[in-house]
């Protein structure tokens, strides 16, 4: 079956949780979280929930675990906390929570960051994606530029297809 045939079988509704990881952002100042929400809705995806959580390993994992147990959430989209500072633990928390990793997401994100945006600084981008239970999880850096790139070039075009692949053997 071709990729196009897979896409035709993809669900028409994908229900999302948007999580911003930050010690400083508020609902009013969370530009990247709002951007994810806006881009998802423009693509006819549903945003079912939204949260800002502290950059704490256990908090990030708690949100992923909780979302994977919810029947009204198909995908978790996380932004922030992916840097190299000691306090940045989102990558590790997400990676340890996944049943399956989608390595192509981080690889493609860094490639596009390199060629379209930030050049060799792309080696610092710790984007990761995968599956927890029946839930897709995407984690990207928190800058608006990184969010726009990940959402428009990778996540939005493939999100329904990813959900189709997760569900195909679970009927």
Question: For 98-117, what is each residue's pLDDT tens digit?
Answer: 999 999 999 999 999 999 87
Domains and CATH numbers, the chain: 3-146+156-167 (3.40.980.10)
In a 10 Å sphere around its CB, with 0-12 CB exposed, 13-18 middle and 19+ buried, how is residue 2 labelled? exposed
The predicted structure's pLDDT at residue 4 = 73
Give the C-alpha separation, 111 to 74, whole Å: 26
Mean pLDDT across 124-148: 96
Share of residues in the chain with pLDDT > 90 (%): 85
Residue 1 has pLDDT above 70, yes or no: no
The model's pLDDT over 12-70, given as tens digits with 9 standing for 90+, comes to 889 999 999 999 999 999 999 999 999 999 999 999 999 999 999 999 999 999 999 99
Q: Does the pTM exceed 0.85? A: yes
Give the C-alpha separation, 94 to 90, whole Å: 6
- Contact partners, residue 148, CB within 8 Å, separation at least 6: 35, 39
- pLDDT-based confidence at residue 171 (cuts at 50, 70, 90): low
Q: In 10 A of CB 41, how many CB atoms? A: 12
- Contact partners, residue 116, CB within 8 Å, separation at least 6: 149
């Amino acid at each position: 079956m071709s990729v196009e045939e897979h896409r035709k079988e993809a669900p028409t509704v994908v229900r999302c949780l948007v999580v911003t990881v930050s010690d400083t952002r508020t609902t009013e100042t969370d530009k990247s979280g709002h951007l994810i929400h806006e881009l998802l809705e423009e693509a006819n995806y549903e945003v079912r929930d939204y949260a800002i959580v502290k950059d704490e390993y256990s908090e990030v994992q708690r949100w992923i675990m909780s979302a994977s147990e919810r029947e009204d959430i198909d995908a978790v989209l996380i932004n922030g906390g992916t840097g190299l500072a000691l306090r940045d633990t989102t990558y590790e928390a997400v990676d340890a929570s996944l049943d399956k990793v989608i390595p192509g997401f981080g690889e493609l994100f860094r490639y596009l960051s390199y060629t379209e945006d930030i050049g060799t600084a792309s080696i610092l981008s710790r984007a990761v994606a995968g599956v927890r239970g029946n839930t897709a999880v995407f984690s990207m850096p928190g800058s608006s530029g990184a969010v726009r790139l990940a959402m428009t070039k990778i996540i939005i075009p493939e999100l329904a297809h990813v959900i189709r692949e997760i569900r195909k053997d679970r009927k």
